[in-house]
Amino acid sequence: MDGHLSTAPENRELMRGGMPVERPLEMPVQDFRRAPTNEPLDVPEARVVIARALTIGGMLAITVYGVREMLAIVSVQDMTALQGVMLFFFAVTLAWIGFAASSAIAGLLIPASKQPSASLGNSRTALLMPVYNEDPARTTATLQAMAEDLARIGAAQHFEIVILSDSTQVDAWIGESLAVDRLRRNLRDIMPVWYRRRWHNTGRKAGNIEEFVKRWGGRYDYMIVLDADSLMTAETLVELVRRMQADPKLGILQTVPLLIGGTSLFARLQQFAGRVYGALIARGVAAWSGDEGNYWGHNAIIRVAAFAQACGLPQLRGRRPFGGHVLSHDFVEAALIRRAGWKVRMASDLEGSWEESPPSLIDIAIRDRRWAQGNLQHIKVIGARGLTLTNRAHFLIGIMSYLSSPLWLMLLLVGFALTLQASLIRPEYFSSEFQLFPNWPVFDAPRMTKLFIFTMIVLFTPKVLGWLRALFVSRVRKGCGGVIGLTVSTLVETILSALYAPIMMLVQTQHVVSILAGRDSGWGPQRRHAATATWREACSVHWPHVAIGLVFSIVAYLLSPTLLAWLSPALAGLLLAIPLSKMSGSEPAGHILRHLSLLRTPEEHRMPDLQRRRNELLKDAPPLPREALKLLARDRQAMLTHIAGNLPRPPEARGHPDPHRLTAERKVMDARSLHEALSWLGPAERVHVAGDPRLLERLAELPD
């Protein structure tokens, strides 16, 4: 057992069940109804004020112009109630896309601020990776590659790896224990590796990190929070710490992770869009946010003391989905840290920060359901006392990112209703009062065409500006295939995104309706690797979208072939929803585009050394055990490693024993063979057996 747990000297001295000796921090629960008493916040820099004026002023100018034109088209004097409803939805939708365009313009025009940097000093930073039923071989390969990279530049002594597991599947948990042991041995001369699995998933990811801070937070100055698919270079990790060291009031510094590693069509589509347009959009957000930036939950460094002081999340009043634990905790934590007087900034100038994209349309729809609930839940947080106006704007943007889909759908439905009204109801040319001249219907078709073109220009402004900026950044231009490759890829991405957009509109509308109906999203593991959906799966998910597209098409054709032509871009995506969804997760489709040098990114053109090293380690890693309990029963060294690498199960409350533990114990004791015991145990019972050394010993004694 000692051989398997050999590690750095500091690990041998302090390790208790996989973790160091506790150094607790107080983390008081925050009160949303009472603002803390802090010193006044600093006045924003001039560049931030200019960026805000440009973003807000641009949005207002676009909206006012569009609404004025629409009023002229429909005539204010003769406006009907239905036209008024259409005007409302049009104004909100135009304001939303106008904000995105103005923010992108601010990102192009406002230079990024230069942030000070200091020495690492005696700082200690936790590389914190919360996991939930993930592939342990992949997560540990990622962490080993990052640790080796830090050792390459002589900075490993300032960092420690901390894996926080909330895994509920026994194979994943045991796989984590064994993979972490291998990681410890591989890094025994480089960096300490800690591991803790919780028995109760209270608060999900936010609760996982909160429990770590309360028990071990005093050991660390900073924590860099990673997702299971995160990857960050040593230079970026060190620079994050240096910037925190240079500014003692900096609470969170968020990088802008780029997407890498995708091989499916949809993943490569996301990668290209993020590389070409995402950087500009992020620069815009950073420009107008200033010291009141946002946090995206990963690939960011956090001052542990600030987090403990300000980020104890309360449970929201009411029933789920709006009540209960805060789901999208990252936005809330950023707002609370700023409320407590700390700065939250975005490091949009730093590269070397990556993550991976969901491989298909169905996978992103599943993830979006949870995100939608978390963002809509912010309706109960946006009014909290003491928040800055900018932080409230971050909440509003998150809420609108999902409400915009039903708003867009309502705009289309109202437009259909108006067309139907004009086709079926004969206009009244003379009122009941005496008049010499008739009331002719007012509709300015040329002005409507002009307004449509204006709206399309606003909608595509972020893409056009991102493309132009990429043309002038040599590394991006060459990595995306040169001027021609970049331009053709931008057109391909625009066309494919236009086809997928109406499908996502209906998917997100379904999410919003489901949430408003009171249905909770649950908490399931995320699929991170390409997997083409079957025709059956694609049909079961998307047949309603095809049906809606078919109904819209028939009605539009019967009303006016011209109307059908105008709506054809949106309707095409709905009618082709099933094959588009199936193709989205296709690796062959992704390889064809790559062979044609389309949707290529610099990271795909020249794989980063860190990603290459991670892939090498992953290739040599043993697979996740399928019968992990059987492995422990027949491999004593693996059993001892698993037991020693985990904290003991917390005691049960008197008089309230866990029924799964009781039944698991009885089944194991009654079994006459290992096969019989394993066939009797259910998923929850297997977890209890894996956490009980006595029951594991009993399994080991049983014959096959």
Cis peptide bond N-terminal to 321, omega within 30: yes
Nearest residue to 678 (alpha-carbon basis) of 170, 135, 177? 170
Any idea which of 120-129, 245-254, 441-450 has the lowest mean pLDDT? 441-450
State the pLDDT at residue 84.
87
Query: In the structure encoding, which two tokens stand for residue 653, read together?
Result: 């409350």
Nearest residue to 365 (alpha-carbon basis) of 228, 587, 540, 202? 540
pLDDT tier for residue 668 given thresholds of 50, 70 and 90:
very high
Any idea which of 254-263, 522-531, 626-635, 649-658 has the lowest mean pLDDT? 522-531
Give whole-number Cα distances, 130 to 331, 524, 581, in Å: 18, 14, 30
Given a cut of 60, whether residue 355 has pLDDT beyond it is yes
| CA–CA gap between residue 28 and residue 44 (Å, rounded) | 29
- Residue 265: how many other CB atoms lie within 10 Å: 27
Query: In the structure encoding, which two tokens stand for residue 471, read together?
Result: 């043309």
Chosen CATH of 9-20+124-321+329-358 out of 3.10.450.50, 3.90.1150.10, 3.90.550.10, 2.40.50.220 = 3.90.550.10
- pLDDT greater at residue 540 or residue 444: 540
Any idea which of 49-58, 435-444, 538-547, 677-686 has the lowest mean pLDDT? 435-444
pLDDT tier for residue 427 given thresholds of 50, 70 and 90:
low
Q: What is the dihedral of CA 599, 601, 604, 608, to 10 degrees?
A: -170
Mean pLDDT of 13-27: 84
Given a cut of 90, whether residue 623 has pLDDT beyond it is no
Given a cut of 90, whether residue 92 has pLDDT beyond it is yes
User: What are the φ and ψ backbone dihedral angles of 373, each rounded to 5 degrees?
Assistant: -65, -45
Given a cut of 80, whether residue 8 has pLDDT beyond it is no
| CA–CA gap between residue 351 and residue 24 (Å, rounded) | 34
3-state DSSP of 56-84: HHHHHHHHHHHHHHHHHHHCCCCCCHHHH
User: Which amino acid is located at 377 in the chain?
Assistant: Q
State the pLDDT at residue 4.
39
pLDDT tier for residue 426 given thresholds of 50, 70 and 90:
low
| CA–CA gap between residue 33 and residue 39 (Å, rounded) | 19
Percentage of the residues of the chain whose pLDDT score is greater than 70? 92
Given a cut of 50, whether residue 542 has pLDDT beyond it is yes
Q: How do beta strands 193-197 and 159-165 pair?
A: parallel
pLDDT tier for residue 555 given thresholds of 50, 70 and 90:
confident
Given a cut of 80, whether residue 74 has pLDDT beyond it is no
- pLDDT greater at residue 157 or residue 370: 157
User: Counting Cβ atoms within 10 Å, is residue 574 exposed (0-12), middle (13-18) or buried (19+)?
Assistant: buried
Instruction: Look up residue 341 and give its DSSP letter.
Output: T
Given a cut of 70, whether residue 10 has pLDDT beyond it is no
- Alpha carbon 275 to its chain centroid, in Å, reads 16
Percentage of the residues of the chain whose pLDDT score is greater than 90? 75
Given a cut of 50, whether residue 384 has pLDDT beyond it is yes
The helix/strand/coil state of 439 is coil
State the pLDDT at residue 522.
64
Given a cut of 60, whether residue 430 has pLDDT beyond it is no
Q: Is residue 236 within 8 Å of residue 127, measured between CB atoms? A: no
State the pLDDT at residue 14.
55
- pLDDT greater at residue 262 or residue 440: 262
Look over the chain and give the mean of its residue pLDDT values, rounded to a whole number: 90
pLDDT digits (tens, 9 = 90+) for 434-472: 544 444 445 556 778 889 899 999 999 999 999 999 999
State the pLDDT at residue 76.
62
Given a cut of 70, whether residue 509 has pLDDT beyond it is yes
Given a cut of 70, whether residue 108 has pLDDT beyond it is yes
| CA–CA gap between residue 26 and residue 214 (Å, rounded) | 6
Mean pLDDT of 221-237: 97
State the pLDDT at residue 321.
81
Given a cut of 70, whether residue 327 has pLDDT beyond it is yes
Instruction: Look up residue 179 and give its DSSP letter.
Output: H
pLDDT digits (tens, 9 = 90+) for 167-211: 999 999 999 999 999 999 999 999 999 999 999 999 999 999 999
Domain boundaries, the chain: 9-20+124-321+329-358, 628-701
Given a cut of 60, whether residue 13 has pLDDT beyond it is no
| CA–CA gap between residue 371 and residue 376 (Å, rounded) | 8
Q: Which residues contact 657 (CB under 8 A, 6 or more apart)?
A: none
Mean pLDDT of 542-553: 94
